[in-house]
Amino acid sequence: MMLRSVRMTSLVLLFVACGVWASAQQPDPLADFRQALRKLANFSPEFCGPPDPKGEYPEKVEERVFSMASDIVLKALNAPSEAAQLPEERAEQAMKQLEQLSGGINARWPEENRLHFQVLDLTPVLIVKISFQFHERFFVFGIPEEKSGKPNRLWQEVGSDFYFRDGDKDPEPVELLPLYRGPSGNARFLAKFIYSGCAGPLGVVYAIAEWDPSEFGNLEEIIHQTGSLGLDDKVEGFPQIGELKTEGPLITLPYCWFSRIDTWDNPSLCAVDTYDLSGDAVRFQSREYNRPDLVPIAKVIEYAEAHDYPAVRSYCASDEIARDLVRAFPAHHFAEDLQMSRTGEGKERVEMMDGAERFDVEKRGDRWVVVAFSAD
């Protein structure tokens, strides 16, 4: 009897010891997060500054800060709690803790370079935007109706900015805006990405996404519009057009782009696109240009360089003009300068290369076309 008691006691002690060991082996997300912040604290937060002491930029550690923050938020959303907290409140509580850690560990950095966050509640989806150093990222959380073929009630990370941004470039800043919902009631949002370097013009990307929680859930990008923003938005003769509008069923997205009629490091042509969000299917409605008279010239040069006769022809008044343009333009053409004069009602002459190239354009109906071209 004594031997059996000793064995039972030994087994209990063994189970207790195993439990303590297993508990010690469990990762501590906050401890790992602190460690990553401490590694980065020794580096300069300057985006365009000289290399750090070891000649490296700790991008991998910074990326871990973002991914660990997402994991911590997800754990908070799914954690059992006696308090009847809203999901938004749980996410904010978790992120405030991380923000405070960065405020202490990265105290020698400027305030704007430390970790900050924004929570966007688009019930039944939640978006958490995190800014750290000079980068901004966001993570989308939702509850798909099913998981592994069974009903699901757990939150999941269903997407991030990597789904929508332009290639591998890092955007800064990122703006998130809620959008009008269609008859289905699915949540929609706009992510506006700005791409900038240490010098030069800015890039812009508009990405519109919709979350459908049915079945296994689907976060789908339904609009992706890229463009550029000039260093100066008050270029004489080339006003930017439109404003970003995201309220209501009609939204407008303004942007510019570089073309073969630019004369310096600033895009001359700009547009504003209008979309109708009133239905479950988002529809393109219209595009308005700042200089519709110059659009056909920029387009025919672009397509002529690629020897794309059908595309050139769509902006010309005749087959002969289109063929002349395709034969005339080599690759990498630049305008150098633009001289414009009015030759009649709805008629203009545009000269480039100190007058060596001349385009005549006319407005026919609701569009402008090239009616004549000559080159010395």
What is the pLDDT, as a whole number, of residue 8? 45
Q: Are 150 and 247 found together in one domain?
A: yes
Q: Does residue 240 share a domain with residue 367?
A: no
| Structural domain total, the chain | 2
Out of 131-135, 196-200, 201-205, 256-260, which region has the weakest mean confidence (pLDDT)? 196-200
The whole-angstrom separation of Cα 71 and Cα 356 is 62
pLDDT recorded at residue 29: 78
Asked if residue 122 is part of any domain, the answer here is: yes
- The pLDDT > 90 percentage for the chain reads 64
The answer as to whether 168 is a domain residue is yes
Dihedral sign, Cα of residue 330, residue 334, residue 336, residue 341: positive
Asked if residue 225 and residue 194 are part of one domain, the reply reads yes
Q: Which of 289, 318, 342 is where one domain is finished?
A: 289
Q: Tokens 């059992």, residue?
A: 80
Q: Is residue 345 assigned to a domain?
A: yes
Residues 73 and 56 in one domain: yes
pLDDT digits (tens, 9 = 90+) for 285-328: 999 999 999 999 999 999 999 999 999 999 999 999 999 999 98
Domain membership of residue 4 (yes or no) is: no
Residues 29 and 100 in one domain: yes
253 and 129 inside one domain: yes
**With the CA atoms of 325, 326, 329 and 332 taken in that order, what torsion angle do they form, in degrees rounded to the nearest 10?**
130
pLDDT of 93 strictly over 70: yes
Check residue 9 and give its pLDDT: 44
Q: Which of 80-89, 215-224, 252-261, 293-302 has the lowest mean pLDDT?
A: 80-89
pLDDT at 59: 78
Same domain, yes or no: 115 and 157? yes
Identify the pLDDT of residue 70: 97
One domain, residues 224 and 327:
no
The continuous run of DSSP H or E covering 310 comes out as helix 309-313
The residues that bridge with 46 in the sheet, in sequence order, are none
Dist CA 136 CA 185 (whole Å): 28
Least confident segment among 16-30, 139-153, 250-264, 277-291: 16-30
CA distances from 155 to 55, 146, 158, 250, 313 (A): 40, 11, 9, 31, 53
Tell me if 95 is assigned to some domain: yes
Domain finish residue from 289, 317, 342:
289
Query: Is the bond into 173 cis (omega within 30 degrees of 0)?
Result: yes
The residue written with tokens 């405030």 in the block is 96
Bridge partners (DSSP) listed for residue 257: 269
Quote the pLDDT of residue 364. 95
Residue 39 falls inside a structural domain:
yes
pLDDT at position 7 is: 45
**Mean pLDDT, residues 12-39:** 64
- Among candidates 287, 270, 290, 260, which has minimal Cα distance to 357? 260
For residue 237, give every residue at least 6 positions away whose Cβ sits within 8 Å of its Cβ, in sequence order, or none: 291, 340
The Cα angle at residue 302 between residues 297 and 304, in degrees rounded to 5: 90
Expressed as residue numbers, the domain containing 61 is 11-289
**Where among 233, 264, 289 does a domain terminate?**
289
Residues 252 and 308 in one domain: no
What is the Cα–Cα distance from 175 to 177, expressed in whole angstroms? 7
Each residue of 333-349: pLDDT tens digit?
Answer: 667 788 999 999 999 99
Same domain, 224 and 170: yes
pTM of the full structure: 0.84
User: CB under 8 Å to 64, separation ≥6 — which residues?
Assistant: 36
Alpha carbons 351 and 360: distance in angstroms, whole number = 9
pLDDT at residue 337, as a whole number: 81
Residue 158 lies in a domain: yes
